[in-house]
Amino acid sequence: MRTYLSIDLDFWCKYNDAWHAERFFKRVWALNLRVCVALHHHHLLRHINRQKKLDAVINVDFHSDIIEDYEGFPEFELSEGTWANFVEHQERMTFEWRYPEKECLAEDTGYCHQFLNPFEENCTRWQHVKKREGIARIPWGDICAVGVCLSPFWLGNKWAVSYPIECLGLHDWLGRWLVYDGFKAPENSDAENGAGIFKPRLTYPKCEV
């Protein structure tokens, strides 16, 4: 099995400590893989689609990031809440959402769909769509690539993810987004499009395991 591990830092947005995220990311660093870092989750899509012969995508995230995608359903745009619907070769792959708490399993909370639930109905092009609470028993031996997105709008308690932010050098992105978000400035346009200084990049974590 070849699995892409897609991680959104907002998974820990309601945590009141930094220990849980640090413990998880030290296990990620132990894979000794370069990590693709992005500001928003859909900016990781190109990196996901560049991987060869993936069997699965595991999405560690507060939000499901997948919606209904079936014949007759209105067209929709790529966004941080729909990127899973744009993964290539999904018809032979499994999408698995790892969510932090049961409260995510509600509309306008963690779910991104509007009408049909992809975890209960066959309404996407993925071969299999699964969900599972928590991050226990991640199939670490199957992970062949890793992506991490900052998702600054959803972070909540930023201290809870201070460790991966430090290790991946994301302070500059976070600071610039907080300053320019909502303003018609070039920095804001680049942030939305994943361009300029906000272009996704591959990096090794700058922390000891």
User: Do the Cβ atoms of 69 and 125 come closer than 8 Å?
Assistant: yes
Q: Which residues pair with 143 in a beta bridge?
A: 3
- Nearest alpha carbon to residue 83 among 110, 51, 45: 45
**One-character DSSP codes across the chain:** --EEEEEEGGGGTT-S-SHHHHHHHHHHHTT---EEEESSGGGGHHHHHTSSS--EEEEESSS-------TTSPP----TTTGGGG-TTGGG-EEEEEESSGGGSSBTTTB--SSS-TTTS--SS-SEEEEEESSTT--GGGEEEEEEE--GGG-SSGGGGHHHHHHTT-HHHHHHHHHHTTS-SHHHHHHHHT-GGG--EEE--SS--
**Phi/psi of residue 184, nearest 5 degrees:** -80, 75
**Does residue 186 or residue 81 have the better pLDDT?**
81
Share of the chain above pLDDT 70, in %: 94
Q: What is the pLDDT of residues 7-18, one digit of tens each?
A: 999 999 999 999
Average pLDDT over residues 87-111: 95
User: Do the Cβ atoms of 88 and 50 come closer than 8 Å?
Assistant: no
Statement: the pTM of the whole predicted model exceeds 0.75: yes
User: Do the Cβ atoms of 113 and 67 come closer than 8 Å?
Assistant: yes
Mean pLDDT (the chain, rounded):
93
First vs last C-alpha separation in the chain: 25
Q: State residue 179's pLDDT score.
A: 81
Evaluated on CA atoms 36, 39, 44, 46, the torsion sign reads: negative
